[in-house]
Every structure is written in C-alpha cells, then in structure tokens.
Structure 1
C-alpha cells in the first residue's frame, strides 16, 4: 500500500487515477483547488486544498507521500512547467522525497519523422499552448530533476477519451504505441490503470512512457 497525493484529482485524468488507486487499497489524498466540488470522488479519499505550483502545498504534503501525481490542467502554457519546477525544487530538499508521476501531453511524442506531434503544421492551434507547456515540463524533468525520481506519462497524441476500463494496454517510450491499423488509442480509465501499475511496479523511472491498446 502506498500513500499517494494526486494534484488535480478533480479532473478527468486525476479523478480516474484517484479511483483506480483507491480500488487497489492505496491511501489517496486529493489535492485540489476547490475541495467542495469533489463529492464524486470515492469514499475514503482525503480531500485537501492543494496546488502543485505552490511551494507551501508541496512542502506540507510531501512528508506523508510515497508518490505525488501531477494531473493538472486548465491553465496557460506556464502551468505545467511551473508545477514540475515546484515539485523538483521542493522535493530535492526532502530527506525521503516522494516519487513524481507527471501526466503529460501525447503531443510531445515523436512522429515517424522524429519530430514532436506538436510541431506538425496541422496541429490544432487551440491546443498549442498546453502542448508547449507539457513539452516545457518534460524538458525540465530531463534537465533539472537531479535528486528526485520522476516519470512522465504521455497518452496517445490523438485518440484519448473517457471510455471503458479494460485493464489492458501496451507501453512504449518516445513514439506512440500503435495497433495493426496504425492507430494509437487509449481510454482515460486505462491510462489510470497504467499510472497505478507504474506506481506499484516501477519500470520507467526518470523517463517518459506512453501507453495504448
């Protein structure tokens, strides 16, 4: 059993990660900006006011955590890098720092040409800021995360939606996992399975991984 703090536990990804972790017997603290809006989370979840970009929040929650999951969204480009920088800066000074699991962007994965999907000319403009922000966070982990253990989880770049929990998926690292038709597809529910599997049985420490069917 692990003590897991989920920043963004009220969101689409965070709520599913929270539910998956609780269903497996882990102790989960949901760190959210609006605790009053999380009555749909499973029984037994501890809900606190928390912010992954706040030194104070991270410092207060770190001593009781084995893992801190970052599953935040809804901000401008700076949000994800700021969260990564806050966690790395605060946690590297802890005597036993919790591991960071950062739910990132699939657009950071590489196309067959070897360039990130977010650099494709037809990449949707409305998603560009968040894609660039997630790329900034990944770059920070890779270059500045000495003293902490992190994992960056990238969903498929296109076909990633709420759906069914099957409990099955395949993993890769820098390029999307594709099926026989060349599609990379995953539900939020099975992303949560992949995240909690990684918490329980670490395979991708200090690196990015992706998952799909």
Structure 2
C-alpha cells in the first residue's frame, strides 16, 4: 500500500485517479484549492488544501508521499509549466523524494508527419493555448528535471471521455496508441487504471508514455 497525493482531485481525471487508487488499498490525499468541492470522493480519501504551483504547498504534502499526481486542468496556459517548476523545485533536494506522475494532454503527441497535434492547422483554436501549456511542461521535465523522478502520461488527442472502466489498455511512446481502424480512444476511468498501474509498477520513469485502447 502506497501514499499517493493527487493535485486536481476535484476534476474529471483527478477524481477517478483518487477513486482507483483508494479502491486498490492505497492511502490517498486529495490536494485541491477548494476542499468543499470534493464531497463525491470516497470517504477514506483525505482532503487537504493544496496548490501544485506553490513549492511550499508541494513540500507540505510531499514528505510522506510515494507519488505526486498532477491532474489539474481548466487553468491558464502557464498553469502546467508553473506546476512542473514548483514540483521539481520542491523535490530536487528532498531526500527520498516522491515521484511525479503528470497527466498531460494528448495534443502533445506526434502525428505521422512528426508534428505535434497542437501545431496542426485544424487543431481547435479554443484548446491551443492550454495545449501549448501542457507542451511547455513536458519540455521542462525533459530539459530541467535532473535529480527528480517523473513520468508524463498522454491520453488520446481527441477521443477521450468519461465512460466504462474495463481495466484494459495499451501503451506507447510519443505517438498515439491506435487500434486496427487507426482510432485512438480511451475513457477517463481506464486512464486512472493506467496511472495507478504505473505508480505500482514503474515502467516509464523520466519519460512520457501514451495510453489508449
């Protein structure tokens, strides 16, 4: 049984990661800006006030944690880069520091042409700034996270939605995982399965992996 802290536990991805980890017997802390908005989490999940963009806030929850999950969303472009900087800054000199597991956007994955989905002309403009923010966070981990253990998880760039938990998925690298029809599809429920599996049995330390059916 591990200790898992989830930043953004009030959101679609974070709430499912909390539930998945708790159901498997882990001790789960939901670190959120608005604790009153998490009444739907399992009763055994401990809720604390936390800000993933604050090094001080990260240090407050990190000492007893095995993993810090970043599942925040809905913010300005700089949110994810600020989170990555705060996490790396807080953990870099911490003895036995927990691992970072950052749930990032699928738009940072590469097309068959080798370009990022977020850079394609037909990428929805209303999501482009957030996608660039997620890309900046990934670039930061790759270039500036020496001495810190991290993993960046990318769901499909388009067909990613709430649904059924099957417990099954496949993983890949910097391109979307596709089925025999060329589709890349996943539910939030099975993203949570993949995230907790990676925490329990690390396979992608200091790199990014894609997940889909």
Q: Same fold (TM over 0.5)?
A: yes
Partner of 1:202: 202
Please give the per-residue CA displacement for 1:88-112, whole angstroms capped at 9, x wherever unaligned: 0110011111000000000000000
Partner of 1:16: 16
- The answer to whether the aligner puts 1:53 opposite 2:33 as a matched pair is no
Partner of 1:68: 68
- Alpha-carbon distance, 1:21 to partner: 0.1
Secondary structure of 1:63 counterpart: coil
Please give the per-residue CA displacement for 1:49-86, whole angstroms capped at 9, x wherever unaligned: 00100111101111011100000011111000000000
Partner of 1:112: 112
Tell me the distance in 2 between the aligned counterparts of 1:208 and 1:134: 12
Note the 1:23-172 alignment, pairs <5 A. 23-172=23-172
Q: CA RMSD in A?
A: 0.5
Aligned length in residues: 213
Tell me the distance in 2 between the aligned counterparts of 1:200 and 1:96: 17
TM norm structure 1: 0.99
Secondary structure of 1:31 counterpart: strand
- The answer to whether the aligner puts 1:176 opposite 2:185 as a matched pair is no
- Alpha-carbon distance, 1:22 to partner: 0.2
Unmatched segments (≥5 aa) in structure 2: none
Moved over 6 A (4+): none
TM norm structure 2: 0.99
Tell me the distance in 2 between the aligned counterparts of 1:129 and 1:76: 8
- Alpha-carbon distance, 1:43 to partner: 1.4
Unmatched segments (≥5 aa) in structure 1: none
Tell me the distance in 1 between the aligned counterparts of 2:34 and 2:45: 15
- Alpha-carbon distance, 1:116 to partner: 0.4
- Alpha-carbon distance, 1:37 to partner: 1.0
Please give the per-residue CA displacement for 1:15-44, whole angstroms capped at 9, x wherever unaligned: 000000000000000000000111000011
Partner of 2:212: 212
Tell me the distance in 2 between the aligned counterparts of 1:99 and 1:122: 35
